[in-house]
Structure 1
Amino acid sequence: MKAVIFAGGFGSRLSEETTLRPKPMVEVGGRPIIWHIMKIYEHYGINEFVVLGGYKVDFIKNYFLNYHDQSSDFTIDLASGKIRWQYSRTENWSVTVLDTGLETMTAGRLKRARRVIGDERFLLTYGDGVSDVNIREAIAQHERSGNWVTLTAVSQPGRYGALGLTEDMTQVRAFREKAAGDGGLINGGFFVVEPQVFDLIDGDESVWEEEPMERVIERGKLGAYWHRGYWQSMDSVRDKMVLEKQWESGNAPWKLWD
């Protein structure tokens, strides 16, 4: 199963960092936040990734193109240029980086990647949030439900819009992305998705959190996996500082791997 990561936005609310690099490449603990997200998935046996780039996508491409060299020790014969690799600390990942357009919206990026994702179930998330969410349990609930999309519902007050859920907390009745905050549960951004959703996306101007989600709800096919643990997005310099402090403590809540 592939994990697809939105990584093409401008990240304007983190402009102190994103004038130089795309938001998913902003570092926490010396590693881009997208690396942390991928490590979370790897913990659950997911090691095939599709990165949906746009803004400064070359930064992302160069990071992964040079990943092996930067993560490995080597001996080089300067006269011949011959390199002997000594030790590699790289991950066993397959990473596809796609340029899905500078101005393309989230769902448009997803639709452009259809040929790479294929007609199979996939995982989907944003390139700016970490969590200790149990991906395995979310997939299992999704499989039992018959839904086309299962999102992760998390608790977060203030600036996010709450989800309207059924009484058993497993089905979404209303989706209000980043509306006037009134507390409650919100979209935590870790999705399990069936390929039927591709037919609900109009084109490049389609936003994942708008028409596609509303159309899934209209069909009664949007489920919710309630995650009661840790979740944190990186929308501002303050958020980045919170994540840095947690990582430096040696006990980052999202670090599920050894």
Structure 2
Amino acid sequence: MRNCKKISIPSHSTIKEAIETIDKGVMQIALVVDDDCLLGTITDGDIRRAFLNGSKLNDNIEGLYNTSPLTGRNDQSQEDLVQLALTRGIKQLPILDEDGRLIGIEYIDDYLRGPEKPNCVVLMAGGLGTRLRPLTAETPKPMLTVGSRPILETILDSFSRYGFRNFYFSVNYRAEKIREYFKDGSQYGANISYLNEKDRLGTAGALSLLPQDISEPIIVMNGDLLTNVNFDQLLNYHLLAKADATMCVREYTLQIPYGVVETEGARILGIEEKPTQNFFVNAGIYVLSPSALQLIPQESYFDMPQLFQSLVKSDRKACSFPITDYWMDIGQPNDFDQANSEYDEVFDV
């Protein structure tokens, strides 16, 4: 059970204070509490609806919060609490004692995450995000808010659900913003360390900053992606293939907007109207065995395609892992807008 003081606010709070409380916590909820008595709960959704109805930041939260939230008791088993929450489709369950006083909150994902894995996850979060300016003028791209939280937080939560606990964030541009927000990761049930790129090292070069004693395959992912890829399946596939490196790929269809003419000399043999061509493209998610890490030069600019080319040239085993799950590379303003419009439907938050 988690301590709920950080996400508790009194009933006389303003909407602005509720937003600040939700933002400081990691559970997308604030508890309205007076004298240890739970009066209700307020979420991002409640606040969005209030704004749509004309409420202002300095308005009181009275009438906005749910006064009949689902709660659990401290004498219920963990299995019963999880079942209760799943039945009602919620992820946060305030817990009351026998006298009805609030004593904590259960975050259901804590129980549904997979067993802890020894594998590290490296999230590449050092890019400049030039194509998304002015949004990234003061904010690193992985910290842009999509849905109700930064992109990087959604990625962290996705991995945590599959039992990954050990993370390295490769940082450069506006690194302090990322450090201040995530700190050491303990508030997320994770261990976060930082790879400091003094100079930009590309999509693979920063991996040379990892400790030398890594003995298990690592997963590397760009910090500006949103996806619901099954990371268990990805890792198991890599191990099954006994690969040195595995690259997630997506099918990309390109339609030529003209009739394509097939010729032989001056003679026309046929015309195909607006044909399509299918390709596999790099999805920015990789699994690398320690053997692949040995090919990365020390603190030099080195991109992931260069690493895979080196693997192929040295006759190492490089595999592809096709993904059909939701995947969005947030590189352009229209991608950012689309991700925000789809977020609530794709991610259960």
TM-score norm. by structure 1 comes to: 0.74
SS at 2:232 equivalent: helix
Q: Which amino acid aligns with 1:154?
A: R
Deviations 1:96-120 (A, max 9, x none): 12212243222221111234x7232
User: Match of 1:138?
Assistant: 234
Q: What CA distance in whole angstroms lies between the structure 1 residues aligned with 2:147 and 2:184?
A: 19
Equivalent residues in 2 for 1:22-61 (5 A)? 22-61=140-179
Deviations 1:222-254 (A, max 9, x none): 11111122211100111110011012xx312xx
Would you say the 8 A contact 1:129–1:232 is kept in 2? yes
Distance in 1 between residues matched to 2:132 and 2:200, nearest whole Å:
18
- Aligned to 1:6, what secondary structure does the other structure show? strand
Structure 2 distance, partners of 1:66, 1:220, is 35
Residue 342 (structure 2) aligned to one of 238, 246, 250:
246
Aligned to 2:296: 201
1 or 2, which has the higher strand percentage? 2
Distance in 2 (alpha carbons) for counterparts of 1:29 and 1:66: 24
Q: Which amino acid aligns with 1:111?
A: S
Could you state the TM-score of these two structures normalised by the residue count of structure 2? 0.56
Q: In 2, Cα distance between the equivalents of 1:138 and 1:101?
A: 31
Q: CA RMSD in A?
A: 2.2
Quick one: which amino acid aligns to residue 222 of structure 1?
A: A
For 2:302 and 2:290, the matched residues in 1 are separated by 17
The 1:114/1:212 distance shift into structure 2, 3 A limit, reads farther
The equivalences for 1:24-173 within 5 A come to 24-65=142-183, 90-115=187-212, 118-157=214-253
Using CA pairs below 8 Å that are at least 6 residues apart, which structure has the higher relative contact order?
1
Name the % identity: 23
Q: What's the CA shift for 1:206?
A: 3.2
Structure showing greater radius of gyration is: 2
Match status 1:11 vs 2:129: yes
Deviation digits for residues 45-87 of structure 1 (CA, Å, limit 9, x no counterpart): 112211000111111111113977xxxxxxxxxxxxxxxxxxx
1:2 corresponds to = 120
Shift of 1:201: 1.4
2:108 aligned residue: none
